[in-house]
Amino acid sequence: MTKTNIILDCDPGHDDAIALLLSCYSEKLNLLAVATCAGNQTIDKTSRNALNLLNFFNKSDVPLAKGSSHPLEREIQTCPEIHGESGLDGFTFPLYKEKYDYRKGYQLIIDTLLENEDVTVITTGPMTNLALAILHNPKITKNIKEIVLMGGSTTEGNITKAAEFNILVDPEAANICFTSGVPLRMLGLNVTRQILVTDEVIEKANAIHTRGSDLFVKLMKVFNENQRNFFGLSAGPLHDPATIVSLINEDVFEFEDMNVTIDISHSDQAGKTICSKEKLPHNVKVATKVNVGLYWEEIYKHLRRCK
| Sites of contact with ligand RIB (CB under 6 A) | 11, 13, 15-16, 39-40, 124-125, 150, 158, 164-166, 239-240
Shortest separation between residue 53's beta carbon and Ca ion, angstroms: 13
Neighbours of 131 (CB within 10 A): 24
* Residue 120 interaction partner, one of ligand RIB, Ca ion, none, beta carbon < 5-8 Å per kind: none
Nearer to Ca ion among residue 11 and residue 146 (C-beta): 11
CA dist list (Å): 278 to 63, 118, 253: 42, 30, 22
Contact 210, 179 (CB under 8 A): no
φ and ψ at residue 277, rounded to 5 degrees: -85, -20
Closest residue (Cβ) to ligand RIB?
A: 165
Beta strands in the chain (DSSP E): 4-10, 29-36, 64-66, 119-123, 144-150, 184-187, 253-262, 273-276, 284-290
**257, β-bridge pairs:** 285
Residue 228 CA to residue 285 CA, distance in Å, equals: 31
Check binding of 226 to Ca ion (CB under 5 A): no
Check binding of 124 to Ca ion (CB under 5 A): yes
Question: Among 112-120, 122-130, 179-187, 292-300, which window interacts with Ca ion (CB under 5 A)?
Answer: 122-130
Has 11 been annotated as catalytic?
Answer: yes
Shortest separation between residue 19's beta carbon and ligand RIB, angstroms: 8
Tell me if residue 9 falls in helix, strand or coil. strand
* Residue 158 interaction partner, one of ligand RIB, Ca ion, none, beta carbon < 5-8 Å per kind: ligand RIB
Shortest separation between residue 185's beta carbon and ligand RIB, angstroms: 15
Nearer to ligand RIB among residue 112 and residue 243 (C-beta): 243
Could you list the active site residues? Answer: 11
Q: Applying CB under 5 A, which residues contact Ca ion?
A: 11, 13, 16, 124-125, 240
